[in-house]
Structure 1
Amino acid sequence: MTSADTSPDTSPGLSSDTGSAPTSPFRHSETDRDAAPQFVLPLVVHIEKAAPPARTDALETAARAVLVLLSDERATAPDGEWTEAVRSWQDARIRKVVRRARGAEWRRAEALPGITLGGPAAEGGAAAAEVRVFPPVPLDGWPKDLARLQVSGTDLDDPEPPPVPDPATPVLWLNPEIAMSAGKAMAQAGHGAQLAWWELDDAARAAWQAAGFPLSVRTPSADHWARLVASGLPVVRDAGYTEIAPGSCTVVADHPALRGPGRA
């Protein structure tokens, strides 16, 4: 699974009419973010050879994991044990890296401070996706049990096409013209979820959290994608560290609370 060390950015004009938080980390200038100490948000996906999870399930679980961490009291309380690390991460480029683990590797990862989303392996077919998210770490300061995990060599597929998403559910739309490994796409979905979270007002955030962060990750048609990019919804623009060209639009975060007149 390829490393997905990327950075989202908002397109010009994502603005006050969406009720965005004034402290959004995506408001920093390029210079400010690059000059700050760099941190990364590690995500580890549990992949056993005999029963890997479905790709879309893994992408959706990774996106929810990011939201759960962002809303966790350990990351939001003034004296939270993860608050300083999350603040330092958000002051720099918003990097996420996805690695895979199986067997003893996964058990060691679970022993480290973090949050696991997902369930046990399903009977037959693909396993239920399981992703553990960890508080941000310095770019060159990974815990050894995470640093040794693989970032390449495994990809994921969907046994069947995912269903059409519920119009009332937030959707993270992937660019249909860009091929990404599962790890890269998981990080991009996490970026999209984070952009939506920061653009929502407090009431919408609370409602989403109370509902358990329902969301879908889907790939639209080319025409639908063009409308989404032009709609004014939050757009993830990749920093170009891995796999794709800098500035590529990878995800549009389509949350019902962010839709307005003329939006797709």
Structure 2
Amino acid sequence: MEHVLTMVVRVEKNARPAQTDALETAARAVLAILADERSVGEGEWAEAMTDWQDHQIRKIVKRARGAEWRRTENVPGITMIGTSAGADSPDEVNAAQVRVFPPTTVDEVPLELAKLQVSGTDFEDSADLPAVAAGVPVLWVNPELEMSSGKAMAQCGHAAQLAWWALPDEARKEWVSTDFALAVRRADRAGWARLLGSGLPVVQDAGFTEIAPGSRTVIADHPRLR
């Protein structure tokens, strides 16, 4: 039976997250639920997480604001807050906020989430992105694909998950200790070609929405995988 992991991004009427902040926060949210003690062993989410990971790791991103967002906080999950461009610390007004929920079957998505809209998740960066610090994992986005922000958030979540699966336990613990520090950047064409030949984890989309089946969307460049 098909399972889906739902993420909800907060999009208030007069406060929209920056594109890169939203992508990075979505990826970190996926890592947070993978690492959560409730997702493993005898944890309350463990069975659902296992069922989902045993099949296609399908993700869907929806948006919420105001009372809709507050209702999502009543559904068990994890909220991840990003850092708005140029800020030194999280700003809950302007920073991306993404809430991730344990997977369910498509027919069992909680009502508070099922009725939310997928459209309207198109964001942009209003400032130049800072240089990526040495040693920080980077999720490189395919420069030849056009995706909505919601679609790109899901793809970055996939890439982060592939990197998590590929890492040894020690490296996973190190990543947890940094609050899942990572960066998302759009590759240039030459860089993308080199990355494709590097053997790093690459997301190959199933083609449910927006892009053709088999499209390679994001490559996870984690220092411990090189």
Flag whether TM exceeds 0.5 (same fold).
Answer: yes
Tell me which residue corresponds to 2:86: none
1:139 shift after superposition: 1.4
Q: Which runs of 5+ in 2 are unaligned?
A: 82-89
Residue 94 of structure 1 pairs with residue 57 of structure 2? yes
Tell me which residue corresponds to 2:69: 106
Aligned-residue Cα RMSD (Å) equals 1.0
Tell me which residue corresponds to 2:9: 45
Residue 194 of structure 1 pairs with residue 161 of structure 2? yes
SS of residue in 1 equivalent to 2:179 = coil
**Separation (CA, whole Å) in 2 of partners of 1:234 and 1:154:** 26
RCO (CA 8 Å, sep 6+): is it higher in 1 or 2?
1
Tell me which residue corresponds to 2:92: 121
Instruction: Report which of the two structures shows the higher radius of gyration computed on alpha carbons.
Output: 1
Seen in structure 2, the aligned counterparts of structure 1 residues 206 and 200 have a Cα distance that, compared at 3 Å, is same
Tell me if the contact between 2:63 and 2:120 (Cα under 8 Å) persists in the aligned partners.
no
**Amino acid in structure 1 at the alignment position of 2:112:** D
Q: TM-score, normalised to structure 2's length?
A: 0.94
1:154 shift after superposition: 3.7
User: 4+ residue stretches of structure 1 with deviation over 6 A?
Assistant: none
Deviations 1:109-155 (A, max 9, x none): 01110000115534xxxx11000000001012111110000001341
1:161 shift after superposition: 2.5
Q: TM-score, normalised to structure 1's length?
A: 0.81
**Separation (CA, whole Å) in 2 of partners of 1:66 and 1:97:** 12
**Separation (CA, whole Å) in 2 of partners of 1:57 and 1:154:** 13
SS of residue in 2 equivalent to 1:244 = coil
Tell me which residue corresponds to 2:47: 84
Q: How many residues align?
A: 218
Q: Which runs of 5+ in 1 are unaligned?
A: 1-36, 260-264
Tell me which residue corresponds to 2:175: 208
Tell me which residue corresponds to 2:114: 147
Tell me if the contact between 1:99 and 1:150 (Cα under 8 Å) persists in the aligned partners.
yes
